Chains A and B, each alone.
Chain A
Amino acid sequence: MKFGIVSFPGSNCDDDAVFAATETLGQPAAKLWHKSHDLEGSDVIILPGGFSYGDYLRAGAIARFSPIMREVAAHAQRGGPVIGICNGFQIACEAGLLPGALMRNAGLQFLSMPVTIRVENTATRWTSLCQEGQRLTMPIAHGEGRYTVDAATLERVEGEGLVVFRYVDAAGEATEAANPNGSLDNIAGVRNAAGNVVGLMPHPERALDQLLGSADGRVIFESVLAAVHA
């Protein structure tokens, strides 16, 4: 199964995503240049973290206009799996692939730390091997991760089970203290209605090896492998 990892100018987790796909999962991977219109036969698309175009206007706001995004959207339309991680989540929201938007953290500071998230929905290509309620520990590293959405859409997002991950404490409760960035309803990640596109602020690709503190991110990538092979 081939992973296509989009490199925007300013992406800085693209190499990590390639490493995850190739070294950890043993799958072929290609870096897809933002100016290209070719997904190079990728089965799965990763929109990686970073600061695309410096995030100088608004995180993800310019990257969504990159040539490659037209092909990514078409791939998503066809039901192809897409995951947006951190800046990739911001881009996916800006591009309309996912509901909502990411705002400046409530504390106004960039936050780099491990967090615990709870799997809320397993009906996605990226969480099919998870258990509902399963807790995963992985790092966050962002300044604009405060998930927000208008009241009507929130009702739909919550009502239709589009919330995939929530920030929780050690006991698994979605408390205010466990919410690092002030996200609405502790939302850490969401999916589209079809379940093939998922975005999240935490970094599963940084949690693939116990040596680095956690291997909890594996289940997310293994889910998409299982889904595509199935």
Chain B
Amino acid sequence: MTATPRPGDPVITPALVAEHGLTPDEFQRLRAMLGREPTFTELGIISALWSEHCSYKHSRPVLKTLPTQAPYVLQGPGENAGVISIGDGLAIAFKIESHNHPSAVEPYQGAATGVGGILRDVFTMGARPIAMLNSLRFGSLDTPRVRYLVGGVVKGIGDYGNCVGIPTVAGDVMFDAAYEGNPLVNAMCVGLLREEELIRAKAEGVGNPVIAVGARTGRDGIHGASFASEDLSDENEAKRPRVQVGDPFTEKLLLEASLELINSGHIVAIQDMGAAGLTSSSAEMAERGEVGVTIDVRKVPQREQGMTPYEILLSESQERMLVVAKQGHEEAVKAILAKWDLNAEVIGHVIAEPVYRVTEGDHVVAEFPGTRLVTDCPQYHPEAREAPEAVARRAQDVLAVPERLEEADPAWTLTRLLESPTIASKRWITTQYDSTVRTSTVMGPGDGDAAVIRIRGTRKAVALKTDCNGRYVYLDPRVGGRIAVAEAARNVACVGARPMAITNCLNFGNPKKPEVFFQFREAVYGMGDACRALGTPVTGGNVSLYNENPQGAVYPTPTIGMVGLIPDVAHVTRASFSAPGQAIVLLGDNTAELGGSEYLAWIHGIVAGAPPACDLEAERRLIDALLEAIGAGHVASAHDCAEGGLAVAIAECCIASQTAPLGAQVDLSAWAALPLRALLFGEAQGRVVLSTANAEAVLAIARAHGVPATAIGTVRTASAGLMLTVGARTIRASLATLGDAFHGALPRAMSRAAAEVVVEKPAAAGGAR
């Protein structure tokens, strides 16, 4: 058989090929593969499968350098989600994915469908979702459009996750003008399964039926994958129809039906119809199983009339799954779906012949030889060259930046930093997310450095966190990539968890630009360095390129989603100080570093200097020492030093709890020789502020691990406020002042938005960077 054009198919011209995002070389490759001219339907299929989003054509060779192995890894990259064993026959499935482009154009639906997609990736592994996280990046809140995006994205995430009933428990949110035109919306889902319930999306068994399940197929989201594989431009508003529309109610039904289906034993494989919809799900399942597949688009349940094969194949209508069932079990599958008021229609079969065939009734509209449709895409090794601007910025002597007059009182600087939206309390956001459904949230948003979810029926819990400081990666991609992993690991260690494995979402600009590809390659190498040193393999993730607009690219942002394991929930540790009189101990050492800091960006408007050094061996020792001290019951609270440095970390330990704030008296005179602002606000890595009733024991454990540790002060009552002494100088601040800055900043900024929540044109002249 061979595919022939349908009546009415457009003629394939070089312009049409270009419109589909294929280069002339790629088109030649397609012709060579087919041995003839492609049909319009085939062009559409390949345009989706060979888009960056589906094919990883620029990123795959670099990604292959990442470590993916550990004895407890049950499923590494290449499946819908990674899976690790946590003992007791239980396993955790987890993955992070971006929905940046749709969210830039339609924030509410863009973010909502991002949540829906990642949920499906996890429950198609046979796992019941137990937690959601999200990592968000926005421009400055001074811009009305950014406030509109923040409001829409947060509501979209909340409405979807809340309705499905999965708690949203952690994440990270940062604001910088670099993300003005290109917000980043990365959603992570974590699921729990019994090891024997693990199912893979691998088509098997000649004659087995291929079944479309869930919502009907409409014209929404056509070419979403290609859209996500190009730069944003002023014309993107016109691409709003490419954004899908989510229905969390149907998702909830689909979740229950899918898990019931997997447990029923009637099916051999299941996969979400995500990016590039039916096309990529069927092609990927066939490829994994090394089998052929044939699909009749007429049998696909449709919600609109007159859809062409091209449209049906490329639709990204949400809440749909593709299932390969066991032959003869079709009716049983339909019965399960019917119980949940969902559709299930047999649309094709697994075949022995190694082809990927699409028919419209009897008419073959697409047929590709072989079973490696996705991986037979072109691979690129783009040129990589560091941008001179990044080199120059990194070389800048930031300690020479003159202080502002107000900085004569460092308490002023501290207060201003606490109201930086990147540092300030995210409560305005997190109260819109149901974080307590499923009654397993031991620590939710804002409680600790990572979320903690108990595993019912065991003493165990998992710790979850996302992290990435894109500013560091911009200034030095290799170091920034290391820090992203190290900080995520430190965060889960602070709550008492052993870092286990990561998923990553690599948000970068246009890889065809040498300076962007340099950032990508070096950042991935840096992540690999850290993953090897800390023993946290990569189990999967997502690459989002082309996050740029005419004003430039986003900061390179390789978001890390970390999973840690807590052997006994008795040792879960919060970030806030817990009792007056306890000693405050600093693990790690202070340095004269100030580069890449929130201090420079927020107080001085400068993004420059080398990011802080990242000693991965020291990080590993720090984690070991911290976990030993926590496991021995010596640690009352633990909080890592991140954006804003040591002074901000200590202040957060005082005020993060609105109901029970506590004061602190701290003496940093041992470091009086350091520049004061580097000591207070520099972002040296490998530091943790903890409180303890047994400082001697903590110091001894740290010494045994070769970790610098110093008793730096005492927790006081709230009325004592915060007192920081450095040599002859004492900095004082009331908790009311600090608390108001920290807790009030985001509500104040967002309340300005209320009158301005209108759909506008994307900020064409937005990111003045």
Contact = CB atoms under 8 A, between A and B. Distances in A.
A23 B252 CA distance: 24
B380 interface: no
Contacts of A113: 431
Given A12-B437, A110-B432, A112-B432, A54 B442 contact: no
Given A9-B341, A12-B165, A141 B436 contact: yes
Give the interface centre of B249, B437, B439 by most chain A CB atoms within 10 Å. B439
A12 B439 contact: no
Contact of A109 (B432, B442, B454): B432
Given A19-B456, A211-B569, A10 B252 contact: yes
Contacts of B430: 112
Interface stretch (A182-190, A192-200, A202-210, A219-227): A202-210
Given A10-B249, A51-B252, A203 B436 contact: yes
B436 A9 contact: no
A13 interface: yes
A218 to B, nearest CB: 13
B159 interface: yes
B163 A139 contact: no
A19 B569 CA distance: 19
Contacts of B249: 9-10, 51, 53-54, 56
A136 interface: no
B274 interface: no
Interface in B647-701: 659
A214 B436 CA distance: 12
Interface residues of B, number: 32
Contacts of B435: 112, 141
Contacts of B431: 109-113
Given A51-B163, A112-B431, A211-B569, A9 B340 contact: yes
A15 interface: yes
Interface in A1-58: 9-10, 12-13, 15-16, 19-20, 23, 49-51, 53-56
A54 B432 contact: no
B456 A112 contact: no
A53 B433 CA distance: 20
B252 A206 contact: no
Main secondary structure of the interface of A (DSSP, over half): mixed
Interface string B151-165: 000010011001111
Interface string A103-131: 00000011111000000000000000000
B163 A10 contact: yes
B434 A54 contact: no
B442 A212 contact: yes
Nearest to B159: A110
Contacts of B340: 9
Contacts, number: 86
A191 B80 CA distance: 47
Contacts of B252: 9-10, 12, 51
Contacts of B250: 54
A219 B250 CA distance: 35
B441 interface: yes
Nearest to B166: A12
Interface in B426-460: 430-442, 454, 456
B439 A16 contact: yes
Contacts of A208: 439
A16 B162 contact: no
B568 to A, nearest CB: 11
Contacts of A109: 155, 431-432
Given A23-B456, A51-B249, A211-B442, A12 B436 contact: no
Nearest to B438: A16
B442 A15 contact: no
B247 interface: yes
Give the interface centre of B437, B438, B442 by most chain A CB atoms within 10 Å. B437
B439 A211 contact: no
Contacts of A143: 162
A91 B165 CA distance: 18
A119 to B, nearest CB: 21
A205 B439 contact: yes
A112 B439 contact: no
A139 B437 CA distance: 9
Contacts of B341: 9
Nearest to A16: B439
Nearest to A20: B439
A4 to B, nearest CB: 19
Give the interface centre of B431, B441, B442, B456 by most chain A CB atoms within 10 Å. B431
Interface string B244-281: 00011110110000000000000000000000000000
Interface string B122-158: 0000000000000000000000000000000001001
A141 B163 contact: no
Nearest to A33: B339
B436 A211 contact: no
Nearest to A54: B249
Nearest to A53: B249
Contacts of A55: 163
B436 A139 contact: yes
B748 to A, nearest CB: 15
A141 B438 contact: no
A50 B456 contact: no
Contacts of B432: 109-112
Give the interface centre of A13, A49, A53, A141 by most chain B CB atoms within 10 Å. A141
A55 B159 CA distance: 11
A165 B253 CA distance: 33
Interface string B216-260: 000000000000000000000000000000011110110000000
Please name the 10 residue pairs, one residue from A and one from B, whose CB atoms are nearest each other, closest first: A12-B165, A54-B249, A141-B434, A139-B436, A51-B163, A16-B439, A112-B434, A206-B436, A110-B432, A206-B439
23 contacts: A10-B163, A12-B252, A13-B165, A20-B439, A53-B249, A54-B248, A54-B249, A55-B163, A56-B249, A109-B432, A110-B162, A110-B432, A111-B431, A112-B162, A112-B431, A139-B436, A141-B434, A141-B436, A141-B437, A143-B162, A206-B437, A211-B442, A212-B439
